Amino acid sequence: MLLTRLAAVMAEAGDGQARLDRIVTLIATSMNTEVCSIYLRRGERVLELCATEGLKREAVHRARLQVGQGLVGLIARRADPINTAEAQSEPGFQYLPETGEEIYHAFMGVPIQRLGEVLGVLVVQNRDSRSYTDDELHGLEVVAMVLAEMTELGAFLGDDAEMAGSHVRPFFARGVSAQEGAAGGVVHLHAPRVSVANPVAEDVGVERLRLSEAMAALRGEVDDMVSADLVGHAGEHRDVLEAYRMFAHDKGWMRRMTASVESGLAAEVAVEREQTAVRAKLSRVADPYLRERLHDLDDLANRLLRHLAGEGPGAEIPTDAVLVARAIGPGELLDYGKRLKGVVLEDGSIGSHAAIVARALAIPLVVQAGRITAEARNGDPILVDGDLGQVHLRPEETVSTAFLEKLDMRAQAQEVYEALRDRPATTRDGETLSLQMNAGLLTDLPSLEGSGADGVGLYRTELQFLIRATVPMRDQQAALYDRVMTSAKGRRVVFRTLDIGSDKVLAYMKRQDEPNPALGWRAIRISLDRPNILKMQTQSLLRGAGGRPLALMFPMIAQATEFFDAKAMVEEQLERHVRVGRPAPERLEIGAMLETPSLAFAPDAFFQAADFISIGGNDLKQFFFAADRENERVRRRYDALNASYLTFIRMIVQRCEEHGTPLCYCGEDAGRPLEALALAAMGVRSLSMRPASIGPVKRLLRESDLVSARATIKSGIARGEVNLREALMDWARAEAIADLV
């Protein structure tokens, strides 16, 4: 009866405040309580009394509590109800004098929440000491779910700015740049929230049937997906998928949602109510396995909601879509592909699998954008600044205008880069550099010609392992390497052997519990301890080369013996390859990635044996400065233009020059014009970067004099400057090329 009356109130005319006032009166009357109050969230930390029946009316919009303050604040912080006969004896009790609530003893409050996001608190109170029944608590929670839906729909909006809903105002998120670039478009939620026009069931029988049909469709979809994926597979992967199917067929899940529908909720709200309850429970579970199951349940609930909305699998996405998600795997991001204008993640890191794929697809990516999934709605206008790590949701006109000007400037610059595409990266003093591109997907290779890159300085072979549910077989790997080399059209491609471990964990590989995985069992260490991995990949590379020149390098070499051991394994496989009648590569180059400071001090024999060396700048820099690049507290504490780091790079260059060992610098710094210039001034003559960076770097190099830049660096070091960034910027301004940096 109460839900039916609530539906009638929602249908009545009036502003948001009038609707709130009628709702609290209705709840107090229906539940026979002397007080009913609604507190709504204002920003991150404040709860405001927005309507009350029983407390002093003049306290509305004046009485405020911090999240965690008083019983109301505790409910908001914990997302759990409080039911007590003596509120004043409860730990944390704090009353607001302006409300006059000190005369009330019995207290029951529940969070107004949707999918784990607390939007406010609903409270009832009585003068007499009494314990509210479980049925009353359940009823109040159901009403709170309806209020949450109404809040999301803007049912309480009014002319007063204080009553403005959170999903119509502009929202700004400052995150972390994981892929440069800028894009504007509309939000496409990876796990969209389905809007519910009426959260109250008009016809319980109809809602029950809708839920049943949607569940049947979901179970059929999951059965088909699992059955297709299980063909020929077994082991741990099969167990995980079967557990996923078991969740979909769980009778308790369906029974609880059906009970919510029968209590008067629309089918979508019933699904979200169960999803919210499960999230609240599992988010507090310490067991990592059980916490991981939360993702399965979330995914199933979201799929069920899409079936209720009539979307089903494979729904269309807008042409100017910007993907917004809490987190996303590399395979899921690849499914979207280059249809996306940008990606914004609430979690994630610059070294995540999704970030690697986003870079490969040249899609602007911002990670750690707080509250973006709670604020965003499908179709909302959104601007993504991947350079600054900023996101503007529902931006004001002035922000949009400034952003469009930035995009226009980018487009003009791109025309200049196009004109330089076929010209060499030759500096004013006659030094020519080789600018190469990083890649990891077959879809990257068209950028090889379009960007003007001389070749592929780093091909990350692990991506095809990361995006698959099972290890790719030898023939599958060989076929991919063949297509990569064919697409390169004779340009040199350097394949990095499998670089897994640390943050790159394969779905079918048991995760190692290590206190510091970045310094643990990873990359070449895994390949040497599990030699069959390197042997199989070497066999695949040799087959894929098909007699063409082949260049491969080993990641994370820390000492010369690791390189010698790995090189011996490759040479052994080459002999075996030729022995069975297959063509040997026209030329085989075996190199190493210098990512640890220790390798720079390796014996001369290492530099003589290596056909080439590639500096893995991202890892080398974090090890050099002892600062984890995944830790936002320290990531900004190091800089490639630090005097010590540039001096170290110069030392590496000199050791390679002594032995005639070709040297390349791979990493983010190679693609930043000022950093690239400094590296070139230190003697690096080959740089490998993402395709989009080649144009800006080439443009600056062609306008620069390396002798002059090197002199600026040397004089800065002689003066004892810790960082050369400002000195180089002053030099660039004097050279009239500062606008190219």
What are the Cα distances from residue 668, in Å, to 18, 296, 621?
A: 56, 34, 11
Q: Are 535 and 567 in contact (CB under 8 A)?
A: no
Q: Phi and psi (nearest 5°) for 18? A: -60, -40
Cβ within 8 Å of residue 711, ≥6 positions away? none
The three-point CA angle 10-11-13 to 5° equals 95
b/e sequence 327-360, b meaning 16+ C-beta within 10 Å: bbbbebbbebeebbbbbbbbebbbbbbbbbbbbb
Residue 473 gets which letter from DSSP? P
- Annotation says 190 is catalytic: no
- Annotation says 656 is catalytic: no
Amino acid at 623: F
Q: Are 109 and 92 in contact (CB under 8 A)?
A: no
514: left (phi over 0), alpha (psi -120 to 50) or beta: beta
Q: How many residues does the chain have?
A: 741
Cα 618–chain centre separation: 19
Cβ within 8 Å of residue 551, ≥6 positions away? 492, 493, 494, 495, 588, 589, 591, 611, 612
For residue 227, how many other CB atoms are within 10 A of its CB?
A: 11
Active-site annotation holder among 167, 188, 307, 353: 353
Instruction: Give the Cα separation of 552 and 489 in Å (integer).
Output: 18
Outline where 489-580 has alpha helix (H): 524-529, 531-545, 560-579
Active-site annotation holder among 50, 656, 664, 666: 666
**Residues with catalytic function:** 353, 666
